[in-house]
Structure 1
Amino acid sequence: MHSLEFDISSSDLIKVAIAVFCGAVLGLERQYKNKTAGFRTIILICLGSTIFTMISQRAGQGVNINLVTGVGFIGAGVIFKDNISVNGLTTAAVIWVAAAIGMANGSGNYMLSIISTFVTLLVLVLFHIFEVYLDKINHEKLLSLVFTNADFDNLLMVENIIHKHKLRLQRRLVNKKDDCLQAIIFVTGHKKHIAQLDEKLLTMPEIKSF
């Protein structure tokens, strides 16, 4: 009978520890923002990529690039699209980067994996603040309007009000249903002005719902 031999070196334990640390750093940020792939998921992705890379190197295959394809399936699972927008792209990118960090760590590039982790965290935190600012000054909203009648002048009046609130608009759809005019308008501009527009629309008797 052949005895089982467990060949675990101190460098292997270091790689596992760094993988858990790097995954935890990125996972905490995702968990804090209540994203689909949170704390445990990112840790396991980073750790799994590390272990697969270690196994590949011991088998004499170097870094297993097929990991990128496998992680791509996981990333695709957190992306979902509705009629207006696509969500989950940033989380999918974090999953992809976490796998790359795990591969770097598994191949022995400890500093690269640690530095990449904090650079990624920096991008997620600082650029999120920048995105919030951009969204504030250039906010987007899709208005679906239903008027009380089929008078086209009511739509022109609403568009004039939108312009008066210093907003830009794109008329996406106009139709009539049950003798009521319906319109979909894409509005962009300062978030404060869009909020003021909402208040104005709420007080207009010509609008049945929006």
Structure 2
Amino acid sequence: MEVNDLEWVLERRDMMSIFVSVICGCIIGLEREYNNKSAGFRTIILICLGSTIFTIVSQHGAGSDDRIAANIITGIGFIGAGVIFKDRLSVLGLTTAAVIWTTAAIGMAAGIGYHALAFTLTIITILILSLFMKIESLITLIHNRKLLNITFVNDDIRNLYTIEKFLINKQVKNKRVSLRKHDKILHVIIEITANNRQLHELEEEILVLPYVKSYS
């Protein structure tokens, strides 16, 4: 095969890789956009496409090795870190960061010419994001863990004991996470484990407790 023919074959393969990358990015991006996630349609497509382009370049560069591929993983790690938000008690965005990392891996698979593998991984990713979400919803119906942030009307410690006894009487597992006092007002954070029905009943009953000023 002549050099020009070989270059034409490689170029056509690379164009197919780019096309596959965009399609895979579209599929995952649509799911993220539909669920209104921070990394949406365009972002996911560009992550997938960018990973494919860098992979293609690493294959054609003179004396190329795996350093570009390794740097893709590092760079995607920085992007993923940017969508993770941590407050005092919880962490948000871990799934989105994982999707970004997985999308980059799919883009790399497309870049080396494993088109069938890229499509297969895309379908698996969508199944995990959609089907497993429904499984998680079913689990929360019977076993749900939440944090109650309660502010009492004063700093009387007996109010804390009363609310803990109240939860025990409701047969709700509870664990004190944080306790603080500010401006003569007591604040407590309690982790509770219950089913959805119990949680709804608790929300209504805590609202009318005279020693509770506010809660969330």
Normalised to the residue count of structure 1, the TM-score between the two structures is: 0.89
Identity, % of aligned pairs? 46
Q: Distance in 1 between matches of 2:64 and 2:129?
A: 33
Query: How far did residue 157 of structure 1 move?
Result: 2.2
Residue 4 of structure 2 corresponds to none
Residue 198 of structure 2 corresponds to 193
Q: Out of 41, 44, 47, which is 2:43 matched to?
A: 41
- Structure 2 portions without partners, runs of 5+: 1-6
Residue 129 of structure 2 corresponds to 124
CA separation of 1:151 and 1:67: change in aligned 2, threshold 3 A: closer
Task: Tell me the alpha carbon deviations over residues 162-200 of structure 1, each in whole angstroms, 9 at most, x when there is no partner.
Answer: 122221111123344444443222212112211211111
Deviation larger for 40-49 or 178-187? 178-187
Deviation larger for 149-158 or 119-128? 149-158
Q: Indicate the RMSD between aligned Cα atoms, in angstroms.
A: 1.9
1:102 is the counterpart of 2:107: yes
- Count of residue correspondences: 205
- Structure 1 portions without partners, runs of 5+: 1-5
Query: How far did residue 104 of structure 1 move?
Result: 0.8
Higher normalized helix content (fraction of residues)? 2
Equivalent residues of 1:53, 1:62 under 8 A apart? no
Deviation larger for 127-136 or 48-57? 127-136
Please give the residue correspondences for 1:35-184 in structure 2 after superposition, counting only pairs within 5 Å: 35-59=37-61, 60-63=63-66, 64-184=69-189
CA separation of 1:81 and 1:177: change in aligned 2, threshold 3 A: closer
Q: Distance in 2 between matches of 1:87 and 1:177?
A: 27
Equivalent residues of 1:75, 1:93 under 8 A apart? yes
Q: Distance in 1 between matches of 2:107 and 2:122?
A: 10
Q: Distance in 2 between matches of 1:203 and 1:111?
A: 59
State the SS of the aligned residue for 2:210. coil
Q: Distance in 1 between matches of 2:125 and 2:205?
A: 42
1:206 is the counterpart of 2:211: yes
Letter of the structure 1 residue corresponding to residue 54 of structure 2: F
Normalised to the residue count of structure 2, the TM-score between the two structures is: 0.87
Query: How far did residue 106 of structure 1 move?
Result: 0.6
Letter of the structure 1 residue corresponding to residue 92 of structure 2: N
